Amino acid sequence: LRLNANDTARLTVVLAKKVADRYGLSLIVEQEALEELVNATYEDAQQYGGRGVMEKIGDLLTDDFLDLQGQRVSQARLVLEGERLKAVALAG
């Protein structure tokens, strides 16, 4: 089953939020970061489906998620800083 671009983006957001939830984080994904995340997970999605995407998201963001969890942050944004995806505390 091949998904169109909108479905791929929606599924990627759902999976990113699911990974973040493991660390007690509610995640907001900025559009620019979403585009990069879809690109970064594309090969894993093609080869391994959703499980591969979740593993890749974990590889990319676990350090940030652990750092935020250690700071007792509950809400985060996924942003693109330069060419790097980064989870940052949601200013509230």
What are the tens digits of pLDDT across the range 7-43? Answer: 889 999 999 999 999 999 999 999 999 999 999 999 9
Provide the β-strand partners of residue 88: 77
Domain that holds residue 55: 5-89
- Given this model, what pLDDT does residue 3 score? 64
CA angle 40, 15, 65 (to 5 degrees): 80
Interval 61-66 mean pLDDT: 98
Q: What is the pTM of this model?
A: 0.90
- For 10, the token pair is 């929606």
* Number of structural domains found in the chain: 1
- Given this model, what pLDDT does residue 6 score? 80
Query: Does 5 score more than 80 pLDDT?
Result: no
Query: Does 92 score more than 70 pLDDT?
Result: no
- For 86, the token pair is 């980064």
CATH code at 37?
1.10.8
Task: Say how far apart CA 88 and CA 11 lie, in whole Å.
Answer: 21
- In the chain, at which residue ranges do the beta strands (DSSP E only) sit? 26-29, 75-81, 84-89
